[in-house]
Amino acid sequence: MRRLQATLAETAEATTRLLDDWLAPVPGPVGRLVEAMRYGTLNGGKRLRPFLVVESAALFDVPRAQALHAAAALEMVHCYSLVHDDLPAMDDSDLRRGRPTVHKEFDDATAILAGDGLLTEAFAVLADARTHPDPAVRGELIAALAAAAGPEGMVGGQMIDLSPERSRLDLEGIKQLQALKTGALIIFACEAGAILGRAPKAARAALVAFAGHLGLAFQIVDDLLDAAGSAEELGKPTGQDEVLGKATFVGQLGMEGARAEAEALIEAACTELAIFAERAEVLRHTASFVLQRRS
Interface contacts to a second copy, rule CB under 8 A? 26, 28-30, 32-34, 37, 80-81, 84, 87, 89-90, 107-110, 112-113, 115-117, 119-121, 123-124, 126-128, 134-136, 138-139, 142-143, 145-147, 149-152, 155-156, 158-160, 162-163, 165, 180
Nearer to a second copy, 167 or 295 (CB): 167
The Cα–Cα gap between 282 and 175 comes to 26
Nearer to a second copy, 70 or 149 (CB): 149
Count of C-beta atoms within a 10 Å radius of residue 106: 20
The Cα–Cα gap between 282 and 184 comes to 21
Q: Are 130 and 66 in contact (CB under 8 A)?
A: yes
For 59-82, give the DSSP string: TTT--HHHHHHHHHHHHHHHHHHH
Angle at 278 between CA 2 and CA 201, to 5 degrees: 120
Nearer to a second copy, 186 or 224 (CB): 186
Nearer to a second copy, 34 or 67 (CB): 34
Nearer to a second copy, 95 or 155 (CB): 155
CB of 12 to a second copy, least distance (A): 24
CB of 247 to a second copy, least distance (A): 13
Buried-exposed string 33-50: b where 16+ CB fall within 10 A, e elsewhere: bbbbbbbbbebebebbbb
Q: Are 195 and 71 in contact (CB under 8 A)?
A: no
CB of 136 to a second copy, least distance (A): 4
CB of 158 to a second copy, least distance (A): 6
Q: Kindly report the backbone phi and psi dihedral angles of residue 271, in degrees, each rounded to the nearest multiple of 5, phi listed first.
A: -60, -35
Nearer to a second copy, 133 or 257 (CB): 133
Nearer to a second copy, 26 or 243 (CB): 26
Q: Is 96 helix (H, G, I), strand (E, B) or coil?
A: strand
CA 71 to chain centre: 10
Count of C-beta atoms within a 10 Å radius of residue 16: 19
For the chain, the straight-line distance linking the first and the last C-alpha, in angstroms and rounded, comes to 16
CB of 257 to a second copy, least distance (A): 25
The Cα–Cα gap between 213 and 205 comes to 13
Nearer to a second copy, 10 or 128 (CB): 128
Please list the residues that pair with 100 across neighbouring strands: 95
